[in-house]
Chains A and B, each alone.
Chain A
């Protein structure tokens, strides 16, 4: 029997992800109270906040592993694959943040979208990393792919502070940070804070599970590509000998 990307550890992790998501849905949709100002729409924030947290984490992992690829002597493609896999899920989670945020905006502000500082910089982050993924798909060897995308991966992460502090730098419709506030004061109901914490843990676990599987898939894609290239070269050499 051939093995795929799963191992005993990833299976256990997968079960933990499903359990954590079920736990989150129970707390976010049933047990936690409605917000005094936002009403029931606060239930969307239990996925909106964790998805942007995981997106930030993804892009930071991309930048760190890009640096490890570029600045270590071995230039291991493992770091490059980790950077690429992490960026893919970062894009997925930023996309979900924008969609869920638009729904929350429709309920709270009355509109799906505003060209507000936070929304605009988040959209810029999304487009930048789509560009990063496009660069990864340009032709060349694995090492060429790794080198050019590592440079981009390290530069693109500089957008995150701009996105995070956009609500402080510019006058924004979007609310400022509720949990990671500059004065360290958390003005939130205990049950709401706990639900948010469950969401962050559940989505971080999910991200880890996805990245582990994706890096393994990428490793196999590279192996298959190398093997196809070697076969093609061998065929060309054989043609040359036959002439």
Chain B
């Protein structure tokens, strides 16, 4: 347990950086999709 708290900064830091980066990219992607979705007619979106 003591070893865990010694190493916790690096362990949690690694997890936070990974999840933070991925969440940031995902959030930006969804926003980009919403913004561009307004400029393109629905008929041209092959996934709809």
Binding site for B on A (CB under 8 A): 2-7, 21, 25, 29, 34, 39-41, 43-44, 47-48, 51, 89, 92, 95-96, 99-100, 103-104, 106-107, 206, 209-210, 213-214, 216-217, 219-221, 223-224, 227
Residues of B with C-beta under 8 A to A223: 40, 44
Q: Is A216 touching B7 in the complex (CB atoms < 8 A)?
A: no
A-B contact pairs, 27 of them (CB 8 A): A3-B48, A4-B30, A5-B30, A6-B33, A7-B48, A34-B3, A40-B3, A40-B4, A40-B11, A44-B14, A47-B15, A48-B14, A92-B22, A92-B25, A99-B17, A103-B10, A210-B25, A210-B29, A213-B30, A213-B33, A214-B29, A219-B45, A220-B33, A220-B36, A220-B37, A223-B40, A223-B44
Q: Is B40 touching A220 in the complex (CB atoms < 8 A)?
A: yes
Q: Is B11 touching A206 in the complex (CB atoms < 8 A)?
A: no
Residues of A with C-beta under 8 A to B38: 2
Q: Is A40 touching B15 in the complex (CB atoms < 8 A)?
A: no
Give the shortest distance, in Å, between B18 (CB) and chain A (any CB): 5
Give the shortest distance, in Å, between B10 (CB) and chain A (any CB): 4
Which of B21, B26, B34, B45 is packed against the most chain A CB atoms within 10 Å? B45
Question: CB within 8 A of A43: which of B11, B26, B32, B44?
Answer: B11
Residues of B with C-beta under 8 A to A3: 37, 42, 45, 48
Give the shortest distance, in Å, between B7 (CB) and chain A (any CB): 5
Q: Is A107 touching B7 in the complex (CB atoms < 8 A)?
A: yes
Which of A5, A25, A223 is packed against the most chain B CB atoms within 10 Å? A5
**Chain B residue at smallest Cβ distance from A96:** B18
Question: CB within 8 A of B36: which of A25, A40, A41, A224?
Answer: A224
Give the shortest distance, in Å, between A89 (CB) and chain B (any CB): 8
Residues of B with C-beta under 8 A to A29: 11, 15
CA–CA, A111 and B12, complex, Å? 18
**Chain A residue at smallest Cβ distance from B33:** A5
Q: Is B29 touching A220 in the complex (CB atoms < 8 A)?
A: no
Residues of A with C-beta under 8 A to B10: 41, 44, 103-104, 106-107
CA–CA, A7 and B48, complex, Å? 7
**Chain A residue at smallest Cβ distance from B12:** A29
Having A2-B38, A4-B36, one finds 17 other A-B pairs with CB under 8 Å, namely: A3-B48, A4-B37, A6-B30, A39-B7, A40-B4, A47-B15, A92-B25, A95-B21, A96-B22, A99-B14, A99-B18, A100-B17, A107-B11, A219-B46, A220-B39, A220-B45, A224-B40
Residues of B with C-beta under 8 A to A25: 15
Residues of A with C-beta under 8 A to B45: 3, 216, 219-220
Question: CB within 8 A of B18: which of A5, A51, A106?
Answer: A51
Residues of A with C-beta under 8 A to B44: 223
